[in-house]
Amino acid sequence: MTMRLLSLTVVLILLVMPLVAQKGAANPTDDEISDQVLVKLASDTDLGGIKFDIAVHNGAVTLKGKVRNDKQKVKAEKLTKKVKGVTGVVNELVISPLD
């Protein structure tokens, strides 16, 4: 009986801890979101060499810069949307040959 109670207690603790940790985690700041977007875009094989200008206001990210094709433009937006804290993306990227 004691072993069963102990096991149940451990299982409950393991289930509740992640929920408590998530509630305590603060939303990232605009600066943190900007940094994470830059890291995500720079680490992508298709977008790595491109210079992006990023502005963030209350989680809304504006992407500016030049990309070579529509595929890169769409991919940059999709990757940006995956960053924690991003509430929306304004994609102002221009398709143009890179300098």
pLDDT score recorded for residue 49: 86
Flag whether 65 is in a domain.
Answer: yes
AA identity, residue 65: G
Identify the domain containing residue 82 by its residue range. 27-95
Number of folded domains in the chain?
A: 1
The 8 Å CB, 24+ separation contacts for 8-16 are none
pLDDT score recorded for residue 26: 77
The CATH number covering residue 62 comes to 3.30.1340.30
Flag whether 12 is in a domain.
Answer: no
Flag whether 13 is in a domain.
Answer: no
pLDDT score recorded for residue 5: 62
pLDDT score recorded for residue 57: 96
Give the confidence band of 3 by pLDDT, cuts at 50, 70, 90. Answer: low
Mean pLDDT, the chain, as a whole number? 86
Length of the chain, in residues: 99
Flag whether 67 is in a domain.
Answer: yes
- pLDDT tens per residue, range 45-76: 999 889 999 999 999 999 999 999 999 999 99
pTM above 0.85, yes or no: no
Task: Return the residue matching tokens 């804290």.
Answer: 85
Angle at 12 between CA 11 and CA 16, to 5 degrees: 120
Flag whether 81 is in a domain.
Answer: yes
Flag whether 78 is in a domain.
Answer: yes
- pLDDT surpasses 70 at 98: no
